[in-house]
């Protein structure tokens, strides 16, 4: 069963029970990705690493060794 079929089944069940319909699949994906990114940045700051620019710095060190 894919996400669309599950959504249709959940919508049908909600309508039968008089509950509000669930949100369509993918509605909160961007918010979930932002929350994961923010959590990762927060953990980096707590540990003492810079929160941003680490990938760019690593690529720069790899491309231009001192």
pLDDT of residue 45: 86
Task: Report how far residue 27's alpha carbon sits from residue 20's, in angstroms, rounded to the nearest whole number.
Answer: 16
pLDDT of residue 6: 94
Q: What is the mean pLDDT of each run of 10 residues along the chain (66 residues)?
A: 92 96 91 93 86 79 85
Task: Report how far residue 25's alpha carbon sits from residue 21's, in angstroms, rounded to the nearest whole number.
Answer: 12
Tally Cβ neighbours within 10 Å of residue 59. 10
Domain count, the chain: 1
Q: Which domain holds residue 30?
A: 3-63
């Amino acid at each position: 069963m894919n996400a669309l079929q599950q959504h249709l089944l959940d919508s049908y069940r909600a309508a039968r029970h008089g509950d509000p319909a669930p949100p369509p699949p993918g509605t909160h994906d961007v918010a979930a990705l932002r929350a994961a990114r923010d959590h990762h940045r927060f953990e980096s700051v707590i540990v003492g690493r810079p929160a941003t620019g680490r990938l760019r710095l690593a690529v720069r060190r790899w491309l231009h060794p001192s």
